[in-house]
């Protein structure tokens, strides 16, 4: 239990220290741009291998699902239509290609 609490305290201090130490200072524009782009890049790096490996026998099915989901989400509001379209596209690709 002491290791868990110690780890939590160290983790908290590491995450809060930059916020507390940078009060009153302006962030350089390069760093602000980098921090705005970083979550998208990290998410892409985590998701892309899953797309390729989701259907080992036909990786094109995962790519087709993501492409159709992106296309449908551009035109539709919400998550239901893109998810259903991605499932349908992956199923169609697995079945007929």
> Considering the chain, what percentage of its residues have pLDDT values greater than 70?
100
Domain total for the chain? Answer: 1
- 64 pLDDT above the threshold of 90: yes
Domain of 33 in residue numbering reads as: 28-96
Q: What is the C-alpha separation between 44 and 19, in angstroms, rounded?
A: 26
Q: What is the C-alpha separation between 83 and 68, in angstroms, rounded?
A: 9
Mean pLDDT of 1-25: 92
Q: Is 78 inside a domain boundary? A: yes
pLDDT at 5: 97
What DSSP string runs through 37-62?
A: HHHHHHHHHHHHHHHHHSSTT-HHHH
pLDDT at 74: 95
């Amino acid at each position: 239990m002491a290791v868990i609490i110690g780890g939590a305290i160290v983790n908290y201090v590491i995450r809060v220290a930059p916020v507390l130490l940078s009060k009153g200072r302006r962030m350089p524009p390069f760093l602000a741009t980098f921090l705005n782009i970083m979550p998208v890049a990290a998410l892409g790096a985590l998701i892309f291998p899953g797309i390729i490996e989701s259907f080992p026998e036909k990786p094109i099915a995962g790519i087709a699902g993501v492409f159709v989901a992106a296309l449908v989400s551009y035109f539709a509001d919400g998550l239901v239509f893109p998810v259903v379209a991605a499932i349908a596209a992956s199923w169609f690709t697995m079945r007929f290609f």
